[in-house]
C-alpha cells in the first residue's frame, strides 16, 4: 500500500523543527519526505491542507486494566482511545491481576498489543513481587521477555534498603527503576494536597513535601549504587529542583510529568469533583507553574498520559473514599498543545516530549520521522477545537479530569505501520 501526504507540516528527524512538504509511505514504512515528491502510481492521496503530521505518540506510562480489571478498561478499548488520541505505542504499568511479575505475562501483553493492529504495548514489569514491596522480582528473566523497565506503578518502593537493592540489581542488566515519588507514611490515607483548600473542604491531606522527601532519598540511593532511576509524574517545585541538581551532577536521573499537573491545579477538585482526584493529587498553582518551567528548560524528559481508568462505581463515592485516577489517553495531545497556545512551549518542543524523547528513553524505533522507519503517524489540526465530554470519550474509561475543557488540536487520523486506524 502506498500513501502520499500532501500539504503537510511535518516534524523533522531531529524533532526540533517543522517543515512544509510531503511524506510518502510505502509497505508500512516511511519511504521519503520533502518539499515535492511527485505522485507514485496507485498511491492514496491525503490532502492535509496545512495540518501537522508527527510520529505516532509514544505514551510512556499508562494503566490498561487487562488482565483482571477489564470492567475498567480492556486492551481493545484502550487501543480505541489511544488511536483517537494519536497514540501508537503505550508502555503499560504492571498494576493488573495477576501482577506483571512473570515473563509469560510480559509476552502476553506484547502479543495482545500486536493483535490490536493499532497500538504496540510495552510492559513494565513489577519491581517487587506482587507489587508488595517485600522482595525483588526476577529482573533478568522479565527483561529477556521484553519488559522495558521495573516499577511498582502507583505504589512507591517505600523501603530504603529494598530501593537500594533494586537499583543495584537493575543496573546489572542495564535497566531502570521507575519510582512513584511519594513518602508512603506521609501520604497514607490522604486525598488532597495539604493546605488551606483541603482544610476548608475537610479532606485528609498529603503534604507536597512527601514527593520531595522521596525524590531526595532516592537520588542519594541512585548516587550510592550508580543505578538509573526515573521519577514518574513529578508535580512539585521542590522535587523538580532536586532532580535538576542531580542532573547537573551527572547522575542517571530522569523524570516525566502528566497533563493534569501542568494544566490543572487543586482548584479543579471544586465541589468535591472525584474525576479530579488523582495520584499524586493536584497541586497549588505555584507547583503547576514550576512543572511548566521544567518542561521548558528540559528538566522534565517526557510527558506521559498517566492514564488510570476507573469505572463509575470507583468515582461515585465521597471524595476521600473515591479511587484516584484519570482517563487521559484521548486528551494527551490536546492538553499538551495548550502549552503551545499559551506560549510556554514551541510546537516542536511539545511534540518531542510526546514522541522522540519517550521513544529514546524506551529504546525503541519510534518517535521520529525517518526513512525506513515504521509509518506510525498522527495527523492533527492544531487550530481545530473540540470539547472534552465525559461519557463521550473513546474507550471504556470516562473518568477524565478535563471534563468540559475546550481544547485546540484535533486528531484527524492515526496510522500504525502505514495502515489507517483512526479518522
Q: Helix and strand tally (H, E) in the chain?
A: 14, 19
The strand pair at 120-123 and 18-26 is best described as unpaired
Instruction: Quickly tell me which residue has 547522575 as its cell.
Output: 251
Contact of 280 with 324, CB cutoff 8 Å: no
In whole angstroms, give the CA distance from residue 319 to residue 323. Answer: 9
Interhelix angle for 237-248 vs 209-225, to 10°?
Answer: 20
Cell of 347: 510546537
SS3 label, residue 55: strand
Cell of 46: 491525503
Contact of 24 with 2, CB cutoff 8 Å: yes
Q: Count the Cβ atoms, other than its own, within 10 Å of residue 317.
A: 12
The three-point CA angle 50-54-58 to 5° equals 150
Contact of 45 with 39, CB cutoff 8 Å: yes
Which residues make Cβ contacts (< 8 Å) with residue 241, sequence separation at least 6?
A: none
Contact of 130 with 97, CB cutoff 8 Å: no
Catalytic residue among 301, 306, 314, 376: 306
Instruction: Quickly tell me which residue has 524523547 as its cell.
Output: 357
**Terminus-to-terminus CA distance in the chain, angstroms?**
18
Catalytic site includes residue 306: yes
In whole angstroms, give the CA distance from residue 363 to residue 176. Answer: 12
Bridge partners for 5 per DSSP: 23, 46
**CA 118 → CA 89, 108, 313, 359, 376, distances in Å?**
9, 16, 29, 17, 9
Could you give the residue numbers annotated as active site?
A: 306
Amino acid at each position: 500500500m502506498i500513501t502520499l501526504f500532501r500539504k503537510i507540516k511535518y516534524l523533522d528527524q531531529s524533532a526540533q523543527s517543522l517543515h512544509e512538504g510531503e511524506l510518502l509511505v510505502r509497505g508500512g514504512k516511511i519511504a521519503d519526505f520533502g518539499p515535492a515528491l511527485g505522485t507514485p502510481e496507485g498511491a492514496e492521496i491525503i490532502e492535509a491542507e496545512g495540518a501537522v503530521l508527527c510520529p505516532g505518540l509514544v505514551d510512556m506510562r499508562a494503566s490498561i486494566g487487562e488482565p483482571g480489571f477489564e470492567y475498567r478498561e480492556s486492551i481493545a478499548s484502550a487501543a480505541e482511545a489511544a488511536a483517537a488520541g494519536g497514540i501508537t505505542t503505550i508502555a503499560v504499568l504492571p498494576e493488573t491481576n495477576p501482577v506483571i511479575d512473570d515473563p509469560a505475562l510480559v509476552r502476553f501483553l506484547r502479543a495482545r498489543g500486536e493483535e490490536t493492529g493499532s497500538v504496540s504495548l510495552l510492559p513494565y514489569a513489577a519491581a517487587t513481587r506482587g507489587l508488595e514491596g517485600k522482595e525483588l522480582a526476577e529482573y533478568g528473566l522479565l527483561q529477556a521477555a521484553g519488559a522495558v523497565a521495573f516499577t511498582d506503578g502507583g505504589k512507591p518502593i517505600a523501603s530504603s534498603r529494598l530501593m537500594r537493592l533494586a537499583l543495584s540489581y537493575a543496573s546489572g542488566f542495564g535497566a531502570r527503576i521507575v519510582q512513584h515519588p511519594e513518602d508512603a507514611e506521609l501520604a497514607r490515607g490522604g486525598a488532597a494536597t495539604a493546605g488551606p483548600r483541603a482544610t476548608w473542604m475537610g479532606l485528609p491531606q498529603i503534604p507536597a513535601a512527601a514527593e520531595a522527601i522521596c525524590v531526595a532519598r532516592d537520588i542519594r540511593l541512585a548516587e550510592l549504587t550508580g543505578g538509573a532511576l526515573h521519577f514518574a509524574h513529578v508535580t512539585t517545585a521542590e522535587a523538580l529542583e532536586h532532580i535538576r541538581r542531580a542532573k547537573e551532577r551527572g547522575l542517571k536521573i530522569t523524570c516525566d510529568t502528566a497533563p493534569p499537573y501542568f494544566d490543572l491545579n487543586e482548584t479543579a477538585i471544586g465541589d468535591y469533583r472525584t474525576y479530579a482526584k488523582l495520584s499524586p493529587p493536584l497541586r497549588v498553582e505555584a507547583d503547576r507553574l514550576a512543572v511548566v518551567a521544567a518542561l521548558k528548560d528540559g528538566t522534565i524528559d517526557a510527558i506521559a498520559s498517566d492514564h488510570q481508568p476507573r469505572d463509575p462505581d470507583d468515582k461515585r463515592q465521597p471524595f476521600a473514599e473515591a479511587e484516584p485516577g484519570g482517563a487521559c489517553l484521548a486528551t494527551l495531545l490536546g492538553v499538551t498543545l495548550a502549552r503551545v497556545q499559551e506560549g510556554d512551549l514551541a510546537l516542536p518542543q511539545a511534540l518531542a516530549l510526546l514522541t522522540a524523547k519517550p521513544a529514546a528513553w524506551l529504546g525503541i524505533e519510534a518517535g521520529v520521522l525517518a526513512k525506513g522507519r515504521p509509518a506510525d503517524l498522527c495527523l492533527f489540526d492544531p487550530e481545530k477545537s473540540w470539547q472534552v465530554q465525559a461519557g463521550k470519550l473513546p474507550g471504556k474509561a470516562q473518568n477524565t479530569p478535563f471534563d468540559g475543557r475546550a481544547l485546540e488540536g484535533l486528531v484527524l487520523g492515526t496510522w500504525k505501520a502505514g495502515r489507517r486506524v483512526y479518522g
